[in-house]
Amino acid sequence: MAKTGKDRKRQVVAEFRRSEILSAATKVFGSKGFEGTRMDDIAAEADLAKGTVYVYFQSKDEIYEAVVEQAVAEIFALTEQQVALATDFAGRLRAYIAVRLSYWREKQSLYRVMSSLNREVQNRKLILKCQRQVVDHLTAMFSDAAEQGELPKQDFEAAAWALMDMIRGLQERRMIHHEQSPEEEVRNLTGFTLRALGYVRAPGEKESSNA
């Protein structure tokens, strides 16, 4: 059955309210941490009645899961956009690393919350789901490069896990101290990964200063 004008309007309003709540929750989780955040805080930040928040989410845990899933969706969209602009594997890899480091640099407070909660048993299923998406995406990117003759065949899934761990390591070290500029982080990790994977440049292709 086709949706009526009222149904469409109701859906738009619901999506807008949900977006407002998640945006507010991202800010509150980042500033107060998960344990310090109450539903009242999220409602106040979103400028909504607490009852309205409960219409869309049953609990703080449900909101947190939605915040994480939204962040992951945003990262993947940004990554696809930037990777598509690259003309070779080195460029695609550089774009992939740069997007992830840049995104979490801007949302470092939220990353701190996620980092601490992901070590708890009840949150491991969620983080493993997110990690699986990253690994599958990287594995596909590596495999495509191998088909183009840019990489030798190897255990690309293991390489994907390793790269994801290195990116996470950079992000966590950044929360403690800053030793490198963002450009250096991207350049060094990209170059290291290209060498580890045995990247083969196309004939006539110049070595980029970023790799």
Whether the Cβ atoms of residue 191 and residue 211 lie closer than 8 Å to each other: yes
The model carries a pTM of: 0.81
Region(s) of the chain under CATH 1.10.357.10: 61-211
CATH number for domain 1-58, candidates 3.90.1170.50, 3.40.50.720, 1.10.10.60, 1.10.10.10: 1.10.10.60
Tens digits of residue pLDDT in 167-201? 988 888 887 776 778 899 999 999 999 999 999 87
- Residue 44's pLDDT band, with cuts at 50, 70 and 90, is very high
| Per-residue model confidence as pLDDT tens digits over 70-80 | 888 999 999 99
Fold of 61-211: Tetracycline Repressor; domain 2 (1.10.357)
Amino acid at 26: T
pLDDT single digits (tens) 98-156: 999 999 888 888 888 877 766 555 667 778 888 899 999 999 999 999 999 999 999 99
The fraction of the chain above a pLDDT of 90, given in percent, is: 53
Residue 42, CA distances (Å) to 32, 122, 173 in order? 11, 22, 29
